[in-house]
């Protein structure tokens, strides 16, 4: 399981984890089999995100495993902005 903080920021405040377009997902389990952080699970005939905050911040390596492009992540530039803002906030409170 991933840590509960990232750079001193509570991990649940960082919006970085995959989304799955269920219309594109074939349930092939490629993402589930690839990710060693238990982010994905299987339900019925599709993959689902079951532990979003286990996803490593900034990692999107699983994207290349999905042959139907059903996976997506937030914009990495937006993530950088959010992290900068959160670092400032948590620097002041620590």
Residue 1 is predicted with a pLDDT of 45
Residue 48 maps to a domain: yes
Cα separation, 59 vs 93, whole angstroms:
27
pLDDT in tens, the chain (94 residues): 456 999 999 999 999 999 999 999 999 999 999 999 999 999 988 999 999 999 999 999 999 999 999 999 999 999 999 999 999 998 876 5
User: How far does CA 6 lie from the centroid of its chain?
Assistant: 13
Q: Which residues make Cβ contacts (< 8 Å) with residue 77, sequence separation at least 6?
A: none
Q: Where residue 69 sits, what CATH number does that domain have?
A: 3.30.70.20
Residue 27: left (phi > 0), alpha (psi -120 to 50), or beta?
A: left
Residue 43 is predicted with a pLDDT of 93
Residue 3 is predicted with a pLDDT of 63
In total, how many domains does the chain have? 1
Structure tokens at 4: 């509960």
Residue 93 maps to a domain: no
């Amino acid at each position: 399981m991933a840590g509960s903080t990232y750079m001193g920021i509570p991990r649940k405040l960082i919006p970085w984890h995959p989304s799955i377009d269920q219309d594109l997902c074939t349930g092939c389990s490629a993402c589930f089999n690839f990710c060693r952080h238990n982010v994905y699970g299987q339900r019925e005939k599709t993959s689902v995100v079951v532990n979003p905050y286990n996803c490593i911040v900034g990692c999107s390596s699983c994207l290349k495993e999905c042959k139907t492009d059903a996976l997506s992540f937030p914009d990495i530039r937006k993530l950088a902005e959010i992290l900068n803002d959160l670092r400032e906030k948590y620097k002041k409170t620590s």
